[in-house]
Amino acid sequence: MERPVDPPARCPVCDTVYDSVSRHGEGDGLVVNLRVNRRYARVCFDPVTVDGSARVDFYHHTHAQVGRSEPPSDRTVLPAGGVGADDR
Ligand SMILES: [Zn+2]
């Protein structure tokens, strides 16, 4: 995994501030966990080309950065229907 040398101040995908950015390229392989995450509300993916090679920059947004005051509780579970355990 790499780090962009001069990343923008705001995410180029959603124009929101972000917590961190990482760059992934050929041969890195990666897994995106779609479960509820206490630290990050979302990750935006920005495909870029570096020295003629394809890369993907990951912009990590915290819950506060996307306007959510509270991260989900550890007990919140989102089944296929999208209803959290705390909503019942
Ligand atoms: Zn974003």
Distance (angstroms) between ligand 1 centre and the Cα of 45 equals: 8
pTM of the model: 0.70
SS (H, E, C) the chain: CECCCCCCCCCCCCCCCCCEEEEEECCCCCCCCCCCCCCEEEEEEEEEEECCEEEEEEEEEECHHHCCCCCCCCCCCCCCCCCCHHHC
Tell me the pLDDT tens digit for each residue of 54-82.
999 999 999 999 987 776 665 554 445 44
Distance (angstroms) between ligand 1 centre and the Cα of 30 equals: 18
The neighbour count for residue 64, using CB atoms within 10 Å, is 13
* Predicted pLDDT at 81: 44
Distance (angstroms) between ligand 1 centre and the Cα of 88 equals: 31
Q: How confident is the model at residue 8 (pLDDT cuts 50, 70, 90)?
A: very high
Distance (angstroms) between ligand 1 centre and the Cα of 8 equals: 11
Tell me the pLDDT tens digit for each residue of 29-41.
777 766 778 888 8
Distance (angstroms) between ligand 1 centre and the Cα of 59 equals: 6
